[in-house]
Amino acid sequence: MSATTLAAEPAARPAPERRPVVELSGVHRRYPGTPPVRALDGVDLRIDSGELVGIVGPSGSGKSTLLNILGTLDRADEGLVRIDGLDVGKLGDGQLSALRARRIGFVFQQFFLTAGVTAVDNVADGLLYTGMPLGERRRRALDTLERVGLADRVHHRPNELSGGQRQRVAVARALVGAPSLLLADEPTGALDSASGAAVLKLLHELHDGGTTVVVITHDHDVAAELPRQVHIRDGRIASDEKAGGR
């Protein structure tokens, strides 16, 4: 894997036009209980295209709920959620599925690769629900595996890959549909530090290539490497810092 394969022609990339990919305004999410759990308690957040953002917080802070809302796996009780310009509250279940199929990519802590299925087919599954023919899905999966530096592992099954490689397959699966938004939930959580660093490097390279990436993590060291860090605590945004540089 190298940065040159990912951002092969950085000069040719047009200057990114900033437009919001995520817009949250006054978002509340409560879970029933006594007393009710206020998982999100009035969250306002805007993430523009091409950003690499870390959402940081301890467990129980509401960051997983936020991930679910950003990924349209869950709905807000109150407030406005716009993903890629679409008002999620007004979309039906089928339309949300379409949004996930074509505009959002997920990376999970536990990878969630299908056992016994080769890397290329695992990645091709990222396009399964777009209705694309299998041949085309595989072709794009091969390209994407090359992008994440696994060109020599395409026919390996998950149990033949290291943890870091598995997570890169999972990243490729999220990436294969060229999503507007890549959501990574503790992507380094199940990895040793070296593999974790490699995965983070990959996410940085994707960001350099123009992909909008949101990393949810409880790990401040991971967050410290990201250009923008949104700290969340008790369902509220405690701070939103942009590091200089990028």
Partner 1 sequence: MSAGRPGSGRGDPAPSRLRPRDTLRVAASGLSARPLRAVLSALGIAVGVAAMVAVVGISASSREQVNQQLRELGTNLLTVAPGQSFTGEEVRLPPESVDMVDRIPAVTDVSAIGAVAGAAVYRNDEIDPGQTNALAVNAARIDLLDTVGGTVASGRWLDEALAEYPTVVLGATAAELLGISRTDGTVGVWLGGEWFTVVGVLDPVALAPELDSAALVGWPAATEILGFDGSPSTIYERSDEAAIEEVQALLPATVNPEHPEEVAVSRPSDALAAQAAADETLTTLLLALGGVALLVGGIGVANTMVIAVLERRTEIGLRRALGATRAHVRRQFLGESVLLAGLGGTGGAVLGGIVTAVFAATRDWPFALPLWVLAGAAAATVLVGALAGAYPAARAARMPPTAALSSV
In whole angstroms, the minimum distance from the beta carbon of 243 to partner 1 comes to 22
Binding site for partner 1 (CB under 8 A): 16-17, 19, 49-50, 64, 68, 71, 73-74, 84-86, 93-95, 97-103, 106, 108, 110, 112, 114-117, 125-134, 140, 173, 176-180, 210-212
In whole angstroms, the minimum distance from the beta carbon of 224 to partner 1 comes to 25
Q: Which of 190, 120, 211 is nearest to 157 (CA)?
A: 120
Nearer Cβ to partner 1 (125/197): 125
Consecutive H or E run containing 80: strand 78-83
In whole angstroms, the minimum distance from the beta carbon of 161 to partner 1 comes to 18
Q: How far apart are CA 131 and CA 196, in angstroms?
A: 33
Nearer Cβ to partner 1 (68/229): 68
Match 């109150």 to its residue by tokens. Answer: 78
Nearer Cβ to partner 1 (2/110): 110
Q: Which of 119, 31, 106 is nearest to 76 (CA)?
A: 31
Nearer Cβ to partner 1 (155/220): 155
**Rounded to 5°, angle at Cα 14 from 9 and 15:** 120
In whole angstroms, the minimum distance from the beta carbon of 152 to partner 1 comes to 25
- Say if residue 35 is preceded by a cis peptide, omega within 30 of 0: yes
Q: How far apart are CA 48 and CA 212, in angstroms?
A: 8
Nearer Cβ to partner 1 (67/154): 67
Nearer Cβ to partner 1 (35/131): 131
CB 107, CB 185: distance < 8 Å: yes
Burial status of residue 66 (CB atoms within 10 A of its CB: 0-12, 13-18, 19 or more)? buried
